Amino acid sequence: MKLLVTGGYGFIGSNFILKLLEEHQEYQIKNIDAKLNGSNPKNLSEIENHKNYEFVKGDITDYELMKKLICECDTVINFAAESFVDRSINDASPFLVSNILGTHTILDIITKEKKKMIQISTDEVFGSLQNESATEETKFNPTNPYAATKASAELLVNSYFTTYNSNVIITRCTNNYGPRQFPEKLIPKTILLADQNKKIPIYGNGRNIRDWIFVEDHCNAIFNILTNGKSGESYNISASNEIDNITIVKKILSLMNKSEDLIEFVEDRPGHDFRYSMDSQKIKKELNWQTEVNFEEGIKKTVDWYLSNREWWKNIVKNSLNQTPWKI
The residues annotated with a catalytic role in the active site are: 123-124, 146
Residue 283: closest CA among 218, 223, 235, 239: 235
Three-state secondary structure along 260-293? HHHEEEECCCCCCCCECCECCHHHHHHHCCCCCC
Task: Name, in order, each residue with C-beta under 8 angstroms of 199's C-beta and a sequence gap of 6 or more.
Answer: 193, 262, 263, 264, 325
CB 300 within 8 A of CB 239: no
Cα–Cα distance for residue pair 127/68, rounded to 1 Å: 36
Which of 180, 171, 181, 175 has its CA nearest to residue 224? 171
Q: Could you tell me the sign of the dihedral formed by the alpha carbons of 225, 4, 316, 272, in that order? A: negative
What is the C-alpha separation between 209 and 312, in angstroms, rounded? 29
Strand partners, 56: 32
Separation of alpha carbons 296 and 319, rounded Å: 31
Cα-Cα-Cα-Cα dihedral sign, residues 57, 61, 65, 67? positive
Q: Rounded to an integer, what distance in angstroms lies between the CA atom of residue 247 and that of residue 209?
A: 10
The string over 159-196, giving b where at least 16 C-beta atoms fall within 10 Å of a residue's C-beta and e elsewhere, is ebbeeeebbbbbbbbbbbbbbbbbbbbbbbbbbbbbee
Which residues does 178 contact at the CB level (< 8 Å), separation at least 6?
11, 15, 214, 215, 216, 298, 301, 302, 305
